[in-house]
Amino acid sequence: MIRALYVKWENSPGIVSFATKASDVSDIPFPAITICPEVKSQISRFNFTDAYHKHKASKLDKTSLNTFITMWQICDLGTGIDHAIRLYDNHCIRTLRDLAVPKPSLLKQCSWGRQPLNCSQEFHTTVTDQGICYTFNSLALSHLLRVGEVHPDFLIDGGLDNPPRRASTSGKKTSLVVVLQTNQNDLDYLCGSCIQGYKVQLHTPTDYPSLSNYIQVPLDQEVSVEVIPHLALTTDSIRHYNPKRRNCFFQEERKLRFFSVYSQANCELECLSNYTVKLCGCTRFSMPRARLVPVCGVGAMRCYQMAEYSLLRMDIYGDRLTFKDGCQCMPACSTLQYDAEISQADFDWHHMKQFELDRMERIHLSYLIVYFKEPEFIAIKRSELYGDTEFLANCGGLLGLFLGVSLLSFAEILYYCTLKPFVLWWNWRRSR
């Protein structure tokens, strides 16, 4: 039993419990919100469907062909394009930016706590695997990324230098409201999916967005997102343990090359970028990279997709040492995550007075509102399960219970092993 107690103390020095007191939502930042339109380019700048058919007929000029090949990477049409010779595309991000729907055309109205916001100032441009997206309430990219390490393409829009916003309470009184606009003429069902609209991701302000999971906001719909935060904290009593024993990193213990702030999501994105460089000699346009690392082109699509798939499969290798093990992407000791409950309804904006000037135009409007569901939440606390003192006390208790061992027992053992033989020898010698 003592051995079992030692194994438990060695492998699980911490215990997870609920905090004894509820936390207010004003104690944590409001989630960062990244919005990615399904429309990847304005039709006036580039018509992907038209270019696709011209390409099939070999009627594309050189400039349009270069743009078409770049757009292929975000239009999710597979790797079947016959321009596999283009392994690198270092102008990819610049091309995507030039074609993307600009913020003023996409973000029609914004408000925070029923006060109007300047959408173009509050949302900064972000490069993700969905192309060009716009993020609210994130750290400025100059603070989130290491400026001297990461390629300047990722610092295209620094955003505001203000700290992340916080909501004073729950409910719609302290919510973010965004009215999103899409021009009917810009809809391109070949480049994208059959569900037109927007992909929205909630994440912490210190995480770089990666659209692995998202909320779908369709056209002409109202989507309400009730946010449920999950906060996990770690006490200082467990800090002296090795990070592998407590299974988490404090901020000062793990430094990333491209990110100023450690989080498991940032670490995994950097790990994927490094693995892709190792496997393909380049990175996907949406991955942070060093200044001299090229961007993968269409010819390397199969390679970087295989790199991502291979990295995901490394978790099933068990005890075998893998590249992912070297990344050491354990959770941060203090983590914040957001769950969401979603409701959706028709957004009948045509009958609203504030949009009466838009009725004659061929546009679609969508309504997104995000707010905390409850004013308080219960955090999770990770603390020390067994300290050195508690471990010794438990060992002593087990010995006393099963062997009758105590300090007096040790004194008796010492007496019978040392003094008792000496006394017997002395008495025998005197009796002679």
List, for residues 289-304, the tens digit of each pLDDT value. 999 999 999 888 889 9
Residue 75 — pLDDT band, cuts 50, 70, 90?
confident
Residues 54 and 27 in one domain: yes
Residues 118 and 260 in one domain: yes
**Domain span at residue 24?**
1-384
Residues 415 and 379 in one domain: no
Whether 297 and 71 have beta carbons less than 8 Å apart is answered as no
Residues 413 and 340 in one domain: no
Q: What is the pTM of this model?
A: 0.85
Residues 375 and 291 in one domain: yes
- Structural domain tally of the chain? 2
Q: Show the tokens assigned to 408.
A: 């007096």
Residues 319 and 415 in one domain: no
Closest by CA to 218, choosing from 230, 235, 200, is 200
- The CATH number linked to 91 is 2.60.470.10
Residue 9 has pLDDT above 60, yes or no: no
Burial 70-99 (b: 16+ CB within 10 A, else e): bbbbbbeeeeebeeeebbebebbbebbbeb
The span from the CA of 111 to the CA of 133, in Å, is 19
The span from the CA of 32 to the CA of 16, in Å, is 27
Q: What share of the chain in percent tops pLDDT 70? A: 85
Query: In the sheet that 123-128 helps form, which strands lie side by side, from edge to edge?
Result: 123-128, 131-136, 32-37, 197-203, 215-218
Q: Show the tokens assigned to 238.
A: 């467990």
The span from the CA of 210 to the CA of 208, in Å, is 7
Residues 356 and 417 in one domain: no
Residues 376 and 395 in one domain: no
Burial 165-190 (b: 16+ CB within 10 A, else e): bebeebeeebbbbbbbbbbeebbbee
Segment 363-392, tens digit of pLDDT: 899 999 999 999 999 999 988 876 656 556
Residues 372 and 427 in one domain: no
Mean pLDDT score, 62-78: 86
